[in-house]
Amino acid sequence: MKFICVILLFFAGITDSRADGFDVVGPSAPVMTVSGEDVILPCSIKPNINAVKMRVQWTRLDLKDSIVHLYKDHEDINTDQLQPYRGRTQVFKEELEKGNTSLKLSRVQISDEGLYNCFIQSESWYDDVTVDLRVEAVGRLPVITVDGFDASGGLHLQCESKGWYPEPDLVWLNSEGVTLTSESTDTHRDDTDGFSVKHMITVYNTDTKYHCRVRMNHHMMEAEIITSSKLFHSWRSSVILISAAVVLSVIGVILITVFVCKKRELQREKQRILNERETYTLTQREKRTVESVTSLLRKHAVNVILDADSAHPRLIVSPDGKQVRYETEKNEDTGQNKFDKRLCAVGNEGFSSGCFYYEVQVKGSNWWRVGVAKESVKRTGWIRLYPQYGYWTVVLYNNSYYADENLIDLPLSVKPERIGVFVDYEKGRVSFNDVKSMCHIHSFTDQSFTEKLYPVFSLGYESYNSSGSLIICSDLS
């Protein structure tokens, strides 16, 4: 009889203990996110009991001393938190009463990818679950460069794109969409900037369009180049010119050796006098030309004020609407007309006739884009800022300058500090110039405008930590 009583008490104890128990549950599939975004790692208690008095501990299973976030005794205790996570984690304390122990991770980085353990402990029970976080980083637009010719006259084309994670696929396609075999490939991995891929092919056909496509999961970017007959003709002409130059060089050396010693001093003196005269005349002429062109353009100057409601949540627009800068903390104000991926903003007034002109200071910014955009352009998602999509701009990124029409490389000898943007609506022309040197940068011509054009400004992508600011200039009188 005593033996039976002991057994009954034993099972009663187990039942009472299990009655206080709970299960910790998480997602059945990996949690996917994009670098630079905020993400929530789901974790909850079933049944939905109050977790305010419990220990909620998040750790990384693949790291040593891996405290990501710790909540206990009604407060966050993160003295032993991993350094990279400081200031980026939080639990939803108002949700703990409902058993929601999820973790919010802000400004996700590539290095955040891994397995996370959600451990919940009460006074009489504990359980845990593992959450798999996968991070993607969308890289930069591929850049195509011409890398010379081979002995048979084939043209070497090289395509490169950086900043992807995980590793993307890069393929070359001809004008019919057929995949071409890359002759050389190069892939590099950087812990902070992701993968860089580079492929090269050799082509022989003139007046043919070739595409370089970079794809990763559901993300894709593409650039194209047309191999014109002029490009191949220039190679053949170069061979002839080089051969002729070699012969002429030999003759020239002989002639110079005979005559240069006798006339060197006289030529130097004459050249010095000519240079002084020419320099003075050219300087005066250029000064008058610069002043004349500047005055002509500024007759069409308009007062551009930024539309703060259009600015990306990580852009801060000054109270007077004349300056925009990047902020790491995202503004929680999300409007219908805001850009949500590109760090863009537009002016609050559009123009649908005549000419207009404005200037913007870009000095100190490591990634900028200025120009105009039509009223109906798309502002959400991974938009492409090309003329065919309603954007006419020039851009600085990776220390190079480009116009977005077929990725035209702009070989500027002087780094612009102030950009002038001139639009002739009826003629379909958008021109850009360096205000300080009055050098022409690029023009989009023969465009067809049918709706209002708005000044547009950009500091890069959301996941890119841009520096500096763009300032709309007011001193145009």
What 63-67 contacts at long range (C-beta under 8 Å, 24+ apart), as own/partner pairs, is 63/114
Sign of torsion over alpha carbons 352, 353, 359, 365:
positive
Overall pTM surpassing 0.85 (yes/no): no
Predicted pLDDT of residue 295? 79
Tokens of 100: 């929601």
Task: Specify the CATH number for the domain of residue 343.
Answer: 2.60.120.920
Q: Final residue of a domain: which of 136, 165, 198?
A: 136
Q: Which residues contact 192 (CB under 8 A, 6 or more apart)?
A: 109, 110, 111
Looking at the fold, whether 66 and 99 belong to one and the same domain comes out as yes
Name the pLDDT band for 440 (thresholds 50, 70, 90): confident
Sign of torsion over alpha carbons 158, 161, 166, 170:
negative
Mean pLDDT of 31-45: 93
Predicted pLDDT of residue 266? 60
Predicted pLDDT of residue 360? 96
Is 248 contained in some domain?
Answer: yes
Looking at the fold, whether 119 and 215 belong to one and the same domain comes out as no
- What are the E-state strand segments in 286-399? 315-317, 323-326, 342-346, 355-361, 368-374, 391-397
Name the pLDDT band for 58 (thresholds 50, 70, 90): very high
Q: What are phi and psi of 276, to 5 degrees?
A: -65, -45
DSSP reduced 3-state for 224 = strand
Residue type, 41: L
Is 2 contained in some domain?
Answer: no
Q: Which residues contact 114 (CB under 8 A, 6 or more apart)?
A: 60, 61, 62, 63, 133
Between 147 and 216, where is the model more confident? Answer: 216
Looking at the fold, whether 223 and 277 belong to one and the same domain comes out as no
Looking at the fold, whether 222 and 236 belong to one and the same domain comes out as no
Mean pLDDT of 182-194: 83
Name the pLDDT band for 320 (thresholds 50, 70, 90): very high
Is 300 contained in some domain?
Answer: no
Predicted pLDDT of residue 342? 87
Looking at the fold, whether 222 and 234 belong to one and the same domain comes out as no
For the beta sheet containing 355-361, the strands, ordered from the edge strand earlier in sequence to the opposite edge, are 315-317, 323-326, 469-472, 355-361, 418-424, 429-434, 439-444
Looking at the fold, whether 411 and 318 belong to one and the same domain comes out as yes
Is 10 contained in some domain?
Answer: no
For the chain, give the percent of residues with pLDDT over 90.
45
DSSP reduced 3-state for 27 = coil
Give the burial class of 358: count Cβ atoms within 10 A of its Cβ; 0-12 exposed, 13-18 middle, 19 or more buried.
buried
Is 11 contained in some domain?
Answer: no
Predicted pLDDT of residue 57? 95
**Cis previous bond, 47, omega within 30:** yes
Q: Final residue of a domain: which of 136, 155, 181?
A: 136
Is 460 contained in some domain?
Answer: yes
Looking at the fold, whether 354 and 424 belong to one and the same domain comes out as yes
Residue 352, domain extent: 308-472
End-to-end C-alpha distance for the chain, whole angstroms: 107
| DSSP string of 152-179, one letter each residue | TSPEEEEEEEEEEBSPPEEEEE-TT-PE
Nearest-CA neighbor of 390 among 340, 450, 347, 440? 450
- Cβ-contact 41, 61 below 8 angstroms: no
Looking at the fold, whether 164 and 96 belong to one and the same domain comes out as no
Q: Which residues contact 315 (CB under 8 A, 6 or more apart)?
A: 324, 325, 326, 327, 343, 344, 345, 459
Predicted pLDDT of residue 18? 45
Q: Check pLDDT > 60 for residue 68.
A: yes
Write the DSSP symbol of residue 47: S
Task: Specify the CATH number for the domain of residue 67.
Answer: 2.60.40.10
Looking at the fold, whether 34 and 52 belong to one and the same domain comes out as yes
In angstroms, how far is CA 39 from the centroid of its own chain? 20
Looking at the fold, whether 198 and 270 belong to one and the same domain comes out as no
Length of the chain equals 477
**Number of domains observed in the structure of the chain:** 4
| DSSP string of 270-302, one letter each residue | HHHHHHHHHHHHHHHHHHHHHHHHHHHHHTTB-
Is 251 contained in some domain?
Answer: yes
Nearest-CA neighbor of 346 among 368, 318, 324? 324
Looking at the fold, whether 328 and 285 belong to one and the same domain comes out as no
| Separation CA 285–CA 274 (nearest Å) | 16
Is 477 contained in some domain?
Answer: no
Q: Final residue of a domain: which of 265, 293, 321?
A: 293
Looking at the fold, whether 183 and 283 belong to one and the same domain comes out as no
